[in-house]
Structure formats: structure tokens, C-alpha cells
Chain A
Amino acid sequence: MIEASALKPNTEPDTREDAQPATKLSCRNLWKIFGDEREVHDLVRKSGGVPDPAAIDRAGLSAGVRDASIDVREGEIFVIMGLSGSGKSTIIRCLSMLLQPTAGELFFEDRDLLACSRKELIELRRHKMGMVFQHFALLPHLSVLRNVAFPLEVQGVDRARSEEKAREMIALVGLESREEDFPDALSGGQQQRVGIARSLATEPELWFLDEPFSALDPLIRREMQDEFLRLQRVLHKSIVFITHDFDEAIRIADRIAIMNHGEIVQIGTPEDLVVRPADAYVEEFTRAVSRSKVLSARTLMESHDAAADHAGEIGASERVSEFAARVVEETRPFAVVDKHRRPIGQISREAVISVLAEG
């Protein structure tokens, strides 16, 4: 596993990372091995907590997650992307403790989740975590309102207050007037809006989304992604988002982890992945991505020529697709400036055209 940002130490820190936010959820060397409980236990004990892949194979067991280390920072959208069988569903279930990890460490803020009692875990989930499921997981016997109020009701919040909160959440996802409907009367997109409202009702700090839009039609999926980004701009949750769709990952992620065969192949910003894929597997995904949508001015710029006649300024974190039109119209280069408007480089028309030509 390679931290892509580490490959280019001379780069100025990204504006986004200027003030490094606190880590919300963190796992180190996490393993999940499936198979007979006792065999798994023996294997881990023998290997001293660090299972050996060869030993796993020999025992006829299979590892869903292999040696994964992840830090989810406060307020970021952390996407875990992988194809089916890559272990992405397993890892989100380990991070949310729906599955007990076999080995490794798992911390929520500074609490050791693996050492939590069942009771503590229930408390944590009631107040700090929320989850959205691929197939919505709505309770068929409850109305939209009661579905959204459910997590509050199990905490013992009284009916009036939990319903008031639920109405607020339903309004947030744009489903006012459908409160009394039952899930089977809603379309897939609407059902997932209910799922989202329900997972937000307890105002969690950590928000798990397990392929939330995969079961939806492409058009609805796009609409829901926009809706999701809009919500996040308001809510600033720390998010773990699972998807098998690389385009979706690129669109919404602050950072992406790519998984293959249970291992995390690479973690980085969308741009990192496109510009510096760790291996052929990652590169395969990035091939079809329109580079102009991920490349930033910072990556594209050449060194600053103070003597040149600049046509204008471009922010270092602006994407090519955002400034291409301006640059292409001018023959003169544009200056690239950091957020204090200090020039740090320049971009020529030719450079932009070559990115656009690549697709």
C-alpha cells in the first residue's frame, strides 16, 4: 500500500490539507479472516496477531480484509472503492463493528472499538454513528415518519420529540408530504432518501454509506450524488462511503482508497490516483476518467516566469475543466497563485490543450 501523497514530498501541501483536521476513525493493520471460528482463532494466536497470507491459504480460510490501515479525518468524504469481492463491504462492516475484525487496531477518536463492551457499542452507535445501506433496509411495517424516528425511539426519546426531529430530517432530504407513506409506495430514490434521513436523525458524527446509490438508476444516482454533496456542505460529517463505481468515487471523494483482493492498493485524492496510480490495477480504473475533471492547476503548472506577460490568475486547486475555457482563449500564459495570491507557477495554453486532447 502506498500513500500517494508521500511520493512527491516537495509539493506544497494542498490547500485542503493546510490545517490537518483531527482523525475521526482510524484502523491499523486490520484483518478479517472468514472460516471456522476456532481455526481462525488458532491461526491468529499462532501468528502473534499478524496473520501470514500463506498460513491462511494453507488452513483453507479466506481473508476478506488484509492488513488494512485507514485514517478517516474529521469532515472528509473518504471513499473506499473496489469491485465485487474486493473486500469493501467487509471492511465497512469491520469499521462499523458489524463484523468483529480478526486482528489489528480500530479507534474511534481515542476509543478502542475492539475493547468496547456490547453496551458501550450500543451507546456509540446510538449517538455517534449512522449508516445507509445499499438496499435501503427500511422497515416495511413502519411509515416514512416512523422509520426515520426509529433510531430515536430505540434510545427512548419520547414520541413527540423524535417525530419532530424526524420531520426535520425528512424535510432535509426533500420528502415533505410523504411522511405517512409506507416504504413500498416509494421509488428507489425516495426510499434511499428515507434511508439517509433515518441515518442522520441521531446527528451522528461518523456516517457510513454502504454503496448507497448502487441500486438506483444512473440518472437518479447522479441526482442523489448531487444531493449528497449538498447535504455534506451543510453537515460536515466524517464519512466512509463505499462504492464500486470509480466515476462516483472521483465525483464525491476527498480521498479514495482502492481495494483489491482484500488489500488496500492505494489511498489518495482523486487527482493523486489519476496522476500517480500506484500500479497497473489502479491505472486501469483511471484510464477512462476525464483528466480535465481531476487535474488541478498545481499539478499542471510549470515554474513561474516573473518576466512573462500573464493573461490572468488561476487558483492552485482549481481543476482544469474549471479554467480551460479562459486559458484556451488567450495566447499568453496564466499565473497560478496559492490562496494568499502569491504566484507559484504558470500555465500555458498548450498544456491545457494537451490535457483536453487526452480526454
Chain B
Amino acid sequence: MSITATDSTSRHPAIRSTTLFWGAALAGLVVLFVVASQFPVLDDPRREFLLPFARWISDGMDFLVDDLSFGLFTFEDLTRAIAFVLSLPLLALTSLLASGWTLPFSEIEVAPLPWFAVVAAMVFMGWRIGGGKLAALMFASFAYLAIFDQWQSAMITLSSVLVAVPIGIVFGLGLGILAYKHSGSERVISPLLDLMQTVPVFAYLLPVLVLFGFGQVSAMIATIIYAMPPMVRVTIVALRSVPGDLLEFGDMAGCTARQMLWRIELPAARDSLMVGVNQVVMLSLNMVIIASMIGAGGLGRDVLTSLKRLAIGDALEAGVAITLLAIAIDRLSQAFANRARMKRPKRSQDRTRVPLSTPAGFVAILLIGALITALAPSLAIYPRALVLDTGPFWDELIRLINVHLYDTLDAIKAFLLIWVMIPLKRLLVEAPWMAVAAGVALIGWRLSGLRLAATLFAMAAFIAFTGNWEKAMISVYLCGTSVVIACLIGIPIGVWSAASARARGVISVVIDTLQTLPSFVYLIPVVMLFQVGDFSAMIAIVLYALAPAVRYTDHGLRQVPGETIEAATMAGCTPAQILWRVKLPLATPHIMLGVNQTIMMALSMLVITALVGTSDLGQEVYIALTRANVGMGIVAGLCVAFLAMTADRLIGAWAAERRRRLHLA
């Protein structure tokens, strides 16, 4: 009671001063708007004011590639050596799975592993690790690859993923351990990770492209770089959350530092570490299509080329193949993690039933398959006659949809474009950068302090003086609209999911699947229905960014303490009152983290939507990629990262403030 009493006395003056402050601020900004639009420097700096960051970066890159030398060898030799080392396992796996190889010192051609043996081996592994259900999933996924004629591409993709994943895990784990053990190195690693996760993927395709050339190996390197950061982060967090008494026990048992790490900390953290492993797998597969832009073959290239030709059916088939591959590997690795956790004495019975260990059986099946094809080479390839092609079906379906639903779809599209998207776009594009930056800095100052305000302003100035202001504002508008729509859809679904166990079951399956889809796949149906353009981009972004809004809302509502809800119930609250007055306020900081995550996902999708013809920063990065212009790509990438950081810092500061006010720890 006393709290409300003091609150009501102190709140009114506070409200008045806040209103006054924002009123004055708004007036100031309007004035700034009008004045600034008269001066190009303050409105949108043109050529004469720009800082040539892009030039400097490109020159630096040229220096690295052409001139840098370590005495005995040049920088280029170094990158060549790295590429060569990485190419060996990749070559071995690709030969084994996809292309076959020639025996050394002879002319004998060895065929790749036959499709039926690989399918059988995967089914066997699924059965041993996860039982009948997983075996069925394995069969469905791998049989799909054969039946829909995706086998060859899928095996190329699989081999590069199988090389990239272990490397990503080992390096991620190593860096994570380093950061955990030496707080000094963490101070370097942590901001680097922040940057790597906010810079759009395309941006670091560029340096990789320049340093390692176009091809399967550089695609793999880019994949590793992209997939590794979560592993580092997860490792740090997992090791930090090893219970203190286990460490004390380790000390008392007389463990050396090495024993402590390998025998206590890493095993105790293994459940969390598996999350990181899973992330590496998923991100590697997510990267498959993007990596094909710098030379990865396989399914990624199939999707990309089909998409460019607008051959929706082909793109869809290859896209589904990637998705199935992702789901299969994901479930397999999860089942593996669960099995490691639940090793129970029962295993002795299993052993007697099948007198064969899982790896041995796996290899045996592959060998038998290879032997069969050596005797009957015609079996190696899935029979042409049995291939299904759904391309014509999809093309026909789209034709039908366009014929019958065109008016409806077009009406929706036109309405949103005319009444929401275009006005917003014009407002943002026409606002002088100075006014926008000042407004953002002001909010930052109120939420946190001068330091945040200065950071935000500096980032805005960077965007303006590298000549990317207009494109950045188009990005903001596209992302902003998408995020708002994603939240409008996602948060209520999250609320529903938290309220009903049955709804949650269905929703979590859908959300899991959405998150398994590589981001490119979202583009396919959208382009099918809405052609290229901003509207399609927005729909794709909304679909892609929906998941965190749902998930965090659900989680935030669920973690409201049961006792608090019981107290509210006993105070006579209706369910609606409990939701609005207790659960939602307490869950807001959590939900805002979800919104934050939604913004991050939206920005990362933004770059990919460049393929459907947007004119924002994403397009800028994509153009830089096609021209191999490192400076331009990195600068545009940094601009995207700065947008992401601005949103992140503002929401972070707001959530911290909010938590403080709610007295949540």
C-alpha cells in the first residue's frame, strides 16, 4: 500500500515534466527538420561531403592481397595454404559421396557411394540413435533427395556441411574456452562476436571472396565464420553456468586446471554445449544458399539459379531438399545429445539384441553398398524413370492462383503499399539525417545517458557521411513495418501459446519448423504469390522474423512466478485482468527481448530480400558482392550492423530501465 501512496504523490510532477520534456523535444525536432532540410550536409550529405571509407577499405584489402609479406611467404601464400588444407577433407568427402574418384596410379574409376546404401545407412543410424520415428524421418528425407532428383546436389552440400560443422565446433569451443579462462581475451572476443552477429552475412562473404577466391572452399570458410559465433557464446555461457559447488568439489578432489576443464567443466556443461553444436549445424545449413554466391555448388546453387530464373518449381524442390536435410541432421544431432544424456543400465539388453555397434553397422552398410555397385554399376544411380518432377505442377498452381486470386492479393498489396508503406517510406527518406539522429540520440540520452546518446549519434553520422542515408532509411522502413506486423501477429500467438497447453504443442512445432527453414526458402512462395518488390520482401521478412516474437512472449508469460498468479487469483482477478495487469507487465522486459530478436532477424533477412528487388542497404551489399567491391560491401554491411545496434541498444536500455522500475532482479 505504501508503495502506491508514494507513487501517486511523486508521479504527477514526474508525468508533467516528462510530457513537457517530450513536447519541447518534439518542437525542437520539427524546427531542426525544417532548418536542416535547407542544408545538404544536415539533410543528406552528397558527394562533396562524403568520407571515402569504402575506398580505404578496398585499398587496405588490395594491400593485404598484393603486397603484405611475412618475409618467407606472402599473405596470399598464407590464405592459399589455408584453402589447400581445407580443400583436402572436402575433396575426400565429395568424392566419396558425390563425384567418385580415380584410384591412384591406375585408371580405375571408383563410383561414389550408391544412393540406396546411404539411405539405408542413415535409416540404420536413425533407428539406433532415436528409434523407429527417427528412422522414418531419415528414410523420408533421404528418399526425397533421390526421388526428386536432388541426390547429386544434396551430397555436395552434405559434404561441405560435414566438413564445416566439426571445424566450426572445434574452433568455437576453443575460442569459448579461451574467453572463459582469460577475461582479457573475452574483452576482445565478445565485441567481435557482437559485430559478427549483426553484420549481414553477405558483408563477410566479400573479404572471404577476395582472400580465398571463388569456389567451394571459400564458401565453406564463409560458412564456418558464419556458424561459429553462437558456439563461442554458448560455450562461454555454458562453462559459466557450471554450478560453483562442482568447481569446489573439483578443487577438493585435487584436480589440476586441465583435469578441471576436461573432467568437470566440459562434461557438466555438455547439455548446453549441445545447443551450440545444434546451432552450428543449423546455421551451416542456413548458409548453404548464401554460400553458393561465392561458389558453393549443390542445393544452394540450384535454389539460387532457379530463383533468378523465376523457376519456382525447381527452387521449391531444391529448397525443400535443404530443409529436409536440415531437419534430418538437426533431429539426429538432438537425438544423439539426448541419448548421451540418458545412458541407462538398460543398454546391456540392447547390446545382446543387435551384436553390432552403431558406427560399425553404419560403415558396414556403406561398404556392402559399394560392393554391390562395384559388381553392378548401373545400380549406383537412382533410375531416371522413377524421378518425380513437380516443377510443372507448381508452375501450374501459381498460374491458377494468379488467375483466380490475383485481384484479392493485389488489393491487399495495394492497400498496404498505398496507405502504410509508401507514406512511411517517404517520411523517413525525406527527413534530414540530422533531425533523425538528434531524435534517436535524445531517446538514448533519456533512457540511459550521454554515452549511449553519443554512440547512437556517431553511428547515424557514419551512415550519413558514407552516403548510405537514403538506403538506410529504406531499410528502416522495410524492417520497421515488418517488425510491427510480425509483433502484431507473433505476440498474440505467444499469449495464446502460453495460455493453452494444446495450442502450445501445435505452435511450437510450427515455430520449430519455421526456424529450421533456411532464410532463402521464405522467398520462394512469396515471390510465387506477390512477384518481386518491397511488398514481397516485407512478407518474407515477417515470416522469417515471426518466431522470436512468439517464443519470447510465450516464455516471458510462463516465467511469471506461479505464486504471483495465485495471489492475483485470490485477490479476485478475472483471467483477463491477470493477463493485462499481472502477467503482461511482468513479462514485458522479456517480450521486448523477443522484439529485439525479431528486429535482428528482420535485418538479417533484409539483405537476402535484395534478391527480390528492394532498393535498400541489402541491395547495396548484394551489388557490392556481385562486383567484388570489398569496400562498398563492408561499409554497407557496417551500416546495417549500426542499424541493428541502434535498435539493440535502445531496446536494451529500455528493458533495463523497465526491469529496474518493476524491481525485477
Contacts and interface: CB of A to CB of B under 8 A. Distances in A.
B264 interface: yes
B103 to A, nearest CB: 43
A151 B270 contact: no
A139 B250 CA distance: 10
B345 A155 contact: no
B264 A139 contact: yes
A125 B253 CA distance: 6
A154 B254 contact: yes
Q: Interface extent on B, as a size class? A: 20 to 34
A125 B267 contact: no
Contacts of B343: 182
Interface stretch (B217-225, B241-249, B289-297, B558-566): B241-249
Interface in B253-279: 253-256, 259, 263-264, 267-268, 270
Q: Interface extent on A, as a size class? A: 20 to 34
A177 B237 CA distance: 37
Given A135-B243, A135-B245, A139-B268, A180 B345 contact: yes
B59 interface: no
B139 to A, nearest CB: 32
Contacts of A129: 252
Given A131-B248, A133-B248, A135-B245, A150 B253 contact: yes
Nearest to A155: B254
A137 interface: yes
Given A129-B252, A155-B254, A141 B270 contact: yes
B584 to A, nearest CB: 35
A154 B263 contact: yes
B251 interface: yes
B344 interface: yes
Interface in A138-182: 139-142, 150-151, 153-155, 180-182
A130 interface: yes
A181 B267 CA distance: 17
A154 B255 contact: yes
Contact of A123 (B246, B251, B254, B255): B254
A6 interface: no
Contacts of B246: 137, 139
B252 A125 contact: yes
Interface string A103-131: 00000000000000000001111110111
A131 B344 CA distance: 28
Contacts of B267: 139, 141-142
A151 B251 contact: no
A180 B346 CA distance: 10
A213 interface: no
B345 A98 contact: no
Given A181-B345, A182-B344, A98 B254 contact: no
| A123, A140, A142: most-surrounded residue (chain B CB, <10 A) | A140
Contacts of B255: 122, 154
A155 B252 CA distance: 12
B475 to A, nearest CB: 45
Nearest to A93: B248
Contacts of A182: 343-344
| B252, B254, B267: most-surrounded residue (chain A CB, <10 A) | B252
Contacts of B264: 139
Interface in B302-350: 343-345
B585 to A, nearest CB: 32
B261 to A, nearest CB: 12
| A129, A133, A155: most-surrounded residue (chain B CB, <10 A) | A133
Nearest to A126: B254
Contacts of A134: 245
A135 B243 CA distance: 10
A122 B245 contact: no
Contacts of A199: 252
B253 A98 contact: no
Given A133-B249, A134-B245, A151 B254 contact: yes
Contact of B243 (A125, A137, A154, A180): A137
Nearest to A134: B245
Nearest to A140: B268
A208 interface: yes
Contact of A208 (B252, B268, B344): B252
B510 to A, nearest CB: 31
A260 interface: no
Contacts of A141: 267-268, 270
Interface in B479-516: none
Contacts of A154: 253-256, 259, 263
Contacts of A155: 254
Nearest to B253: A151
A238 interface: no
A133 B253 CA distance: 12
Given A139-B268, A141-B268, A133 B254 contact: no
A154 B253 CA distance: 8
Nearest to A124: B254
A130 B256 contact: no
B303 to A, nearest CB: 41
A96 interface: yes
A151 B254 CA distance: 7
B252 A98 contact: yes
B181 to A, nearest CB: 15
A137 B249 contact: yes
A151 B250 CA distance: 8
Interface in A81-101: 93, 96, 98
Contacts of B256: 122, 154
B259 A133 contact: no
Nearest to A201: B253
| A123, A135, A141, A181: most-surrounded residue (chain B CB, <10 A) | A141
Contacts of A136: 245
Interface in B602-625: none
Contacts of A98: 248, 251-252
B268 A126 contact: no
A96 B243 CA distance: 18
A208 B252 CA distance: 10
A131 B263 contact: no
B327 to A, nearest CB: 28
A130 B251 CA distance: 10
Contact of B251 (A125, A139, A140): A125
Interface string B26-46: 000000000000000000000
A137 B270 contact: no
A262 B132 CA distance: 60
Nearest to A208: B252
Closest CB pairs A-B (n = 3): A126-B254, A137-B245, A125-B254
13 contacts: A93-B248, A122-B254, A126-B253, A126-B254, A130-B252, A137-B245, A139-B246, A139-B267, A141-B268, A150-B263, A153-B263, A154-B263, A208-B252
Interface of B: 243, 245-246, 248-249, 251-256, 259, 263-264, 267-268, 270, 343-345
